Amino acid sequence: MPQSHKHHHHRGAVFLAGAGPGDPELLTLRALRLLKQADVIVYDHLVAPAILALARRGAQRIYAGKERGNHTMPQDEINALLVKLARAGHRVVRLKGGDPLIFGRGGEEAEALARSNVYFEIVPGITAASGVAAYAGIPLTHRDCAHACIFVAGHLKNGSVDLDWPALARPAQTIVVYMGLLGLPVLSRELIAHGLPAAMPAAIVQQGTSASQRVVTGTLESLPRLALTAGLHAPTLIIVGEVVRLREKLNWFVPPEDRGEGAALEAARLSSAATAAAVEPSAPPQISPLRRAM
């Protein structure tokens, strides 16, 4: 039977929400509304401070970020925390960079909530692949050169880079690698070994969609050296494929620090939540009546 809104509100609820790739204006209206009404926000490392600034002033903020080799809170503890907060009657926003279900462990958290019979909803966000590629001027698909796109994580649970290389090296597709900076030399070597041309265009984007965005382009063979020379650091996104050639024509976004006149205004837009805050909703978050009891 469907659970009533009133019953959910009393028992608490968890909203697994995507914060998008960085620029506060890429936050969805749904996520913004929930932030304005949340009792507690459990947020990740990649959530921009300007997005946190949009939250209700009295909301409790709990950092549960994970950086490579430095997990503030293990995943099991995060799962248990979400259950505990909801059972205490709180409206909890579990805020994740990008989209919660694309390399965001949102599926694991949703499973834990379902096992505990805690009401939850999933609020999709703009994932890094689409957001960062757009701001880098790189279409992920294009009729002339890429008919498919594949997303992979650049490091696995044990820290290795052991991917399905033959599947990745297929022609006419774009490869997008999340969290791949440290594994970039292995990625390049293996893709070339499995048949991709050494001259295949490739790009790496640091802090995409933000005022600090940096883009380095080269070839599959040269990109590891170029990224090292540029001194790039996480978070980064790697894009491999013929579509990278289009950046030269489609590069519309220039970070404020690389511009002259007007840069200060753009920097303010990217670092401030003023525009998004202007659409602050007054209604509480609506919980779908279609959600079924588990």
The verdict on 105 and 218 lying in the same domain is no
Residue 8 is predicted with a pLDDT of 46
Residue 157 is predicted with a pLDDT of 61
Q: Are 204 and 227 in contact (CB under 8 A)?
A: yes
In a domain, 282, yes or no: no
The verdict on 12 and 117 lying in the same domain is yes
Residue 291 is predicted with a pLDDT of 45
pTM of the model: 0.85
Question: For residue 230, what is the enclosing H or E element?
Answer: helix 223-230
Residues 11-49: b if buried by 16+ CB within 10 A, e if exposed: bbbbbbbbbbbbbbebbbebbbbbbbbbbbbbbbbbbbe
Catalytic residue among 23, 44, 96, 99: 44
Task: Read off the CATH number of the domain in which 112 is found.
Answer: 3.40.1010.10
Per-residue pLDDT of the chain (294 residues; tens, 9 = 90+): 344 444 444 579 999 999 999 999 999 999 999 999 999 999 999 999 999 999 999 999 999 987 666 667 899 999 999 999 999 999 999 999 999 999 999 999 999 999 999 999 999 999 999 999 999 999 999 999 999 999 999 876 666 778 999 999 999 999 999 999 999 999 999 999 999 999 999 999 999 999 999 999 999 999 999 999 999 999 999 999 999 999 999 999 988 766 654 555 565 556 554 444 444 444 555 555 444 333
As a residue count, the chain comes to 294
Task: Please count the structural domains in the chain.
Answer: 2
In a domain, 39, yes or no: yes
Residue 268 is predicted with a pLDDT of 59
> Of 92, 95, 89, 87, whose CA–CA distance to 117 is shortest?
87
CA-based end-to-end distance of the chain: 9
Residue 69 is predicted with a pLDDT of 60
The verdict on 123 and 101 lying in the same domain is yes
The verdict on 52 and 89 lying in the same domain is yes
Domain of 11 in residue numbering reads as 5-127+271-277
Catalytic residue among 66, 96, 144, 164: 66
The verdict on 148 and 237 lying in the same domain is yes
The verdict on 141 and 123 lying in the same domain is no
**Tokens (6 digits) for 284:** 């509480």
The verdict on 50 and 153 lying in the same domain is no
Q: Is-catalytic flag, 36?
A: no
The verdict on 147 and 114 lying in the same domain is no
Task: Read off the CATH number of the domain in which 222 is found.
Answer: 3.30.950.10
In a domain, 256, yes or no: no
The verdict on 28 and 107 lying in the same domain is yes
The verdict on 47 and 122 lying in the same domain is yes
The verdict on 9 and 112 lying in the same domain is yes
Residue 47 is predicted with a pLDDT of 94
Residue 61 is predicted with a pLDDT of 97
The verdict on 58 and 119 lying in the same domain is yes
Q: Is-catalytic flag, 44?
A: yes
Residue 2 is predicted with a pLDDT of 42
